[in-house]
Amino acid sequence: SQQGEEDPQALSIQEGENATMNCSYKTSINNLQWYRQNSGRGLVHLILIRSNEREKHSGRLRVTLDTSKKSSSLLITASRAADTASYFCATPSQGGKLIFGQGTELSVKP
Amino acid sequence: NAGVTQTPKFQVLKTGQSMTLQCAQDMNHEYMSWYRQDPGMGLRLIHYSVGAGITDQGEVPNGYNVSRSTTEDFPLRLLSAAPSQTSVYFCASSRLPGLAGEGNEQFFGPGTRLTVL
């Protein structure tokens, strides 16, 4: 079964707006990762947040983690048309496995 | 570095045929895995390996075999293709995760789009 579940499944915004995607997970974790997938391509790692961190920034990306609620959010500020992609959260499982959620499909309209 | 490479990029099979999807990485990563991606289902883990000679099942292993004879290569074999195996297949590799919360950032190949008729 899926460990991480993203919300919303799809998001459409205008260029310049902020985009927020949420991820919920079921079991205790020691880190959570976010990935991006452009149409027809492989996934690319964006950012990793550890369980002892509450917030992390990377350029226009801001990730938060609330271990008490078992949830994380990814915020993309001042979005651009090039940010159009699917975004996935991933959490570790035993044996080094990463379990991915179903993803949020983001569309940024120019 | 080439990173993670996958061949072929596209493949069409008939039901019952067998084939091998190739995956190779040149980053000396211990961990390698295969995922399939279907519309509305996200990525589902098929098989994974934590080192040469060691493989284990993921969420959806039925109909697939893997082996890991070298650190670099992790082929995925479809034993008898079925239409339900029509999907996009991704191979990924990473270092093994650390014990103190260091994550294993995964590097993905470009994918193989498989159609089974």
Residues A49-108 have pLDDT tens digits of 999 999 999 999 999 999 999 999 999 999 999 999 999 999 887 766 788 888 999 999
- A–B: how many Cβ contacts below 8 A? 71
pLDDT tens, A34-51?
999 998 889 999 999 999
Cα of first residue to Cα of last residue in chain A, in angstroms, is 37
The answer to whether the beta carbons of residues B62 and B46 sit under 8 Å apart is: no
pLDDT average, residue stretch B92-106: 75
Tokens coding A54: 């509450």
Of B41, B50, B111, the CB nearest to A96: B50
Task: Assign A1 a pLDDT band (cuts: 50, 70, 90).
Answer: very low
B-chain CB neighbours of A45 within 8 Å are 105-107
B-chain CB neighbours of A35 within 8 Å are 106
Closest CA to B63 of B9, B7, B116: B116
pLDDT average, residue stretch B47-70: 95
The answer to whether the CB atoms of B45 and A40 lie below 8 A apart is no
**Would you say residue B99 has pLDDT above 60?**
no
Chain B interface disruption, residue of A34, A41, A45, A53, most B CBs within 10 A: A45
Rounded Cα distance, B51 and B40, in Å: 31
Tokens coding B18: 């067998």
Q: Quote the strand ranges of B28-86, DSSP E.
A: 31-38, 42-51, 54-57, 64-66, 76-78
Tokens coding A79: 């979005």
pLDDT at B98: 63
Please spell the DSSP secondary structure of A31-61, one letter per residue: EEEEEEE-TTS-EEEEEEEETT-SEEEETTE
- β-sheet bridge partners, residue A109: A14
- β-sheet bridge partners, residue B46: none
The answer to whether the beta carbons of residues B68 and B49 sit under 8 Å apart is: yes
pLDDT at A62: 98
Sheet holding A55-58, edge to edge: A4-7, A19-25, A71-76, A61-66, A55-58
- For residue B48, the distance in angstroms to the closest alpha carbon of chain A comes to 8
pLDDT average, residue stretch B21-28: 96
CA angle B105, A2, B115 (to 5 degrees): 85
The answer to whether the CB atoms of B109 and A42 lie below 8 A apart is yes
Tokens coding B57: 């099942």
Rounded Cα distance, A97 and B117, in Å: 31
Q: How many C-beta atoms surround the C-beta of residue A84 within 10 A?
A: 18
